[in-house]
């Protein structure tokens, strides 16, 4: 009787024609979304530092912030997805939802609590209108 072995992670790899191009496209879209968020914060003259949400001077609900409360994190997730596509690894794909879950729990939710305290009803209305991610 032989010893059972697990399949190699290589068995879960993928490749397709245009893989590098697809990865570059996803990366470019992610970078554009994240950059648009940063530019909108700068236009609104508020902090882009996620570690200091109490330094925010206004609720930004223009531009990409009409579609996502966290376009910079959406962009980061897309950049991570671009790396997964470039690697061609189904196993690495698990990193994308893991990133989203971690950022939501340890960064976004604390930011939201702080912004709710700072901006009250104005921020509550924004929360009701715009999704956290997409």
103-115 confidence digits (pLDDT tens): 999 999 999 999 9
Report how far residue 29's alpha carbon sits from residue 79's, in angstroms, rounded to the nearest whole number: 8
pLDDT digits (tens, 9 = 90+) for 22-65: 999 999 999 999 999 999 999 999 989 888 877 899 999 999 99
What percent of the chain has a predicted confidence (pLDDT) above 90?
84
**Contact between residue 85 and residue 26 where contact means Cβ atoms under 8 Å apart:** yes
64 within 8 A of 83, measured Cβ to Cβ: no
User: Model-level pTM greater than 0.75?
Assistant: yes
- What is d(CA 61, CA 37) in angstroms, rounded to the nearest whole number? 10
């Amino acid at each position: 009787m032989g010893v059972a072995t697990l399949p190699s992670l290589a068995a879960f790899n993928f490749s397709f024609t245009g893989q590098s191009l697809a990865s570059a496209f996803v990366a470019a879209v992610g970078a554009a979304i994240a950059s648009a968020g940063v530019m909108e914060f700068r236009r609104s003259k508020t902090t882009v530092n996620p570690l200091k949400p109490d330094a925010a001077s206004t609720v930004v609900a223009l531009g990409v912030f009409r579609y996502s409360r966290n376009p910079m994190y959406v962009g980061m997730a897309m950049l991570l997805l671009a790396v997964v596509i470039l690697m061609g690894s189904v196993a690495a794909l698990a990193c994308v939802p893991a990133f989203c879950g971690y950022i939501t729990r340890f960064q976004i939710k604390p930011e939201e609590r702080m912004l709710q305290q700072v901006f009250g009803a104005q921020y509550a209305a924004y929360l009701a209108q715009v999704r956290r991610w997409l």
